[in-house]
Chains A and B, each alone.
Chain A
Amino acid sequence: MATTTVPAVPLTSAALHQRRQWIKYFTWSLDHKVIGIQYLVTAFTFFLIGGILAMLIRVNLLTPDSGLFIDTATYNAVFSMHGTIMIFLFVIPVFVGFGNYFVPLMIGAKDMAFPWLNAFAFWLIPPAGLLLLAGWIVGPPGAGWTAYFPLSGPVYSHADGQTLWALALHLLGISSIMGAMNFLVTVKNLRVPSMTWFRLPLFVWAMMATAIIVLLATPFLSGALTLMLFDRLAGTNIFNPATGGDPLLWPNVFWFYSHPAVYIMVLPGMGMLSEVLPVFSRKPVFGYRAIAFSSMGIAVLGFVVWGHHMFTTLAPWTRIPFMVTSMIIAVPTGIKIFGWVGTVWRGKIRFTASMMFALGFLSLFVIGGITGVILASVPVDLQAHGTYFVVAHLHFVLFGGSVFAIMAGAYYWFPKITGRFLNERLGKVHFWLTYVGFLLSFLPMHISGLYGMPRRVAVYDPKFQAINILTSFGAFILGIGQLPFFINAAVSAVSGEVAPPNPWNALGLEWTTSSPPPEHNCDGDPVAAPDPYGYGTPMAVAYLAGERNMDVLLASGGHAAPHFAEQPAGGDR
């Protein structure tokens, strides 16, 4: 039967021996794992920058007058940069980073389909980020991350930062599109031959759905940015009403991209949740197929709801179809949420930092999703649009959703990537500060928004000061709460506790190789099992009990796969 055994401990230390030199991460590498780490580190750096800008926002809003920034235009620049950086340079690339690292491992491929393209797509990101930040030198963009015309046009935004903004987003869009092509071809062609669609891990499903969205939606952004650049640089008037253009073309095209984009920002996170929750509740994921299909359902529906960002802009009757489709998205999303609750239910929950962030996602995303449905109702949106209610919604889904999932994934996969654990105690401190700070800062925004506080204002009605002080206070806790994470990651990467190949007793393909994986990902060619996960099967029980006796396994599960025995022992933690 087993002819090649992979002894767990020696391999681990061997892998650590051949740790890649740090300099390698700053070079043009074709290894998907190196590129994955490059993405992750770059994205987290931008998280820091975006976060510090958020802190400036909150300091400014401590007082109702223009406060920190004498010049209100600077405030506009700060939140425009904050939104743009968080979305285009943090959340989207960080998921591409996780995908890059783990999709090939999960499908048993040696690399992505187009390694060169992969590296190229990554190396577009740092220059794009620098271009965007260079805006601070030439006059920053101040039209919000949505950059509505005519405000973002040449007449009302002379600053070259707005042009750089468009160029940077153009590069990021191209990078995304290349990444998406790469993911789709990789999953379609490079997976282990025995791995059928329904043997794919849910994270891979989610990445596929995401890639499809990127491929169909992001070119729209590219097209719109092209026209914007024409208007700003070539003297055209495509969006300028003064000369026959139409300012409404921009928001329509932008949201046709950007609503699907919010699912680009959350579907991979949902995929990560489907990986993390079963492992730490020691139960199979509840309703694998439903969750897999709902990703696709969300991807498709996401294309027909863009108008819900323009309920106060569009002609009255054209708002109605968008209202209905937007609300329907609650159904596939609900399938996922309930599936995850079903996964946790009756499990044997282990409260690792990763699991806590995953549960945090569940509890917060539900709120964000429900406020989304409230916003989707046209009459209610007439009150809520353009207020802090929307800011609350978007942070509940983007921070409470995407970022919590990113953190869950980071604690979960850090041992696989570096071969060392993140410190669990610091992780829990991180979680609690984040969770409490998050609720303190973003829950009150719902109220101030409905009550009449518009968003994107540096100066506000003094009657909102109390709520804003509370929010800022929460935001500072939230900001300080991220420090333990950054420190933890930096310290643990060099001196954290050494992790075995399968530290969490997970049963996905990526855990069968060493931590960190060798350059060629795994020895020999992997064979897919008939089910991507299977906690609680008699087989797995036996396995987890350390029972490697083939007869027992055969008796309990029926068909023991020979490779089963080869799996390195998981360090029971």
Chain B
Amino acid sequence: MQTSSTEHQTAPTPVVHDVHTEHADHDFTYLIVFVALAALTGLELLATYVPAIKIPLLIGFAAAKAMLVVAFYMHLRWEKRILPMIFAAPVIIGILVALALQQLVMR
């Protein structure tokens, strides 16, 4: 998969082994991420005690947690660009549609 579609004349790179198979040691990162996830969960629970701003806070925390898992546990951070792009599409469309549906159906 070539990284840029503008290189018309270059052949697609025949399967390169992915970075993480080269035994980069991420153990410590994984641990940090886990701690962060747990901490964010705690913050979420705390946020419910401030009803005034809890909704943006909660959404922010959940998004951060989801992003941490996708980026580190699912290795997207270390993947070639195409995979993050593939995964971003439904997330963006999904959010927009879910919101649009609220609008359309509530009227």
Interface string of B6-32 (1 = CB under 8 A from A): 011111101100000000000000000
Judge if B101 is at the interface, Cβ distance under 8 Å: yes
With contact pairs A191-B12, A193-B11 given, residues A307 and B1 touching in the complex (Cβ less than 8 Å): no
Interface residues of B in 28-45 (CB under 8 A from A): none
Which residues of A sit under 8 angstroms from B103, Cβ to Cβ?
318
Judge if B5 is at the interface, Cβ distance under 8 Å: yes
Q: Is the CB of A248 within 8 A of B10?
A: no
Interface SS of chain B: loop
Which residues of B sit under 8 angstroms from A253, Cβ to Cβ?
101
Judge if A440 is at the interface, Cβ distance under 8 Å: no
Closest to B10 in A: A196
Closest to A199 in B: B8
Judge if A226 is at the interface, Cβ distance under 8 Å: no
Residue among B2, B7, B8, B10 having the largest count of chain A Cβ atoms under 10 Å: B8
Interface string of A60-81 (1 = CB under 8 A from B): 0000000000000000000000
Q: Give Cα A307 to B107, complex, Å.
A: 14
Q: Give Cα A315 to B107, complex, Å.
A: 6
Q: Smallest Cβ distance from A441 to chain B, in angstroms?
A: 35
Q: Give Cα A349 to B104, complex, Å.
A: 50
Q: Is the CB of B104 within 8 A of A197?
A: no
Which residues of B sit under 8 angstroms from A530, Cβ to Cβ?
9
Q: Smallest Cβ distance from A453 to chain B, in angstroms?
A: 29
Q: Is the CB of B105 within 8 A of A189?
A: no
Q: How many interface residues does A have (CB within 8 Å)?
A: 23
Q: Count of A-B contacts with CB under 8 A?
A: 46
Judge if A249 is at the interface, Cβ distance under 8 Å: yes
Q: Smallest Cβ distance from A325 to chain B, in angstroms?
A: 12
With contact pairs A256-B97, A303-B93 given, residues A248 and B105 touching in the complex (Cβ less than 8 Å): yes
Closest to A248 in B: B105
Q: Give Cα A188 to B8, complex, Å.
A: 15
Judge if B90 is at the interface, Cβ distance under 8 Å: yes
> What are 20 A-B pairs with beta-carbon distances under 8 A?
A188-B82, A191-B12, A193-B11, A194-B11, A196-B2, A196-B9, A196-B12, A197-B8, A216-B89, A216-B90, A220-B97, A248-B104, A248-B105, A249-B105, A252-B101, A315-B104, A315-B107, A318-B103, A318-B104, A318-B107
Since A193-B12, A195-B12, A196-B11 are in contact, a sample of 9 more A-B pairs with Cβ atoms closer than 8 Å, ordered by chain A residue number, is: A188-B82, A191-B12, A196-B9, A198-B8, A248-B105, A252-B101, A253-B101, A314-B104, A315-B107
Interface residues of A (CB under 8 A from B): 188-189, 191, 193-198, 216, 220, 246, 248-249, 252-253, 256, 303, 307, 314-315, 318, 530
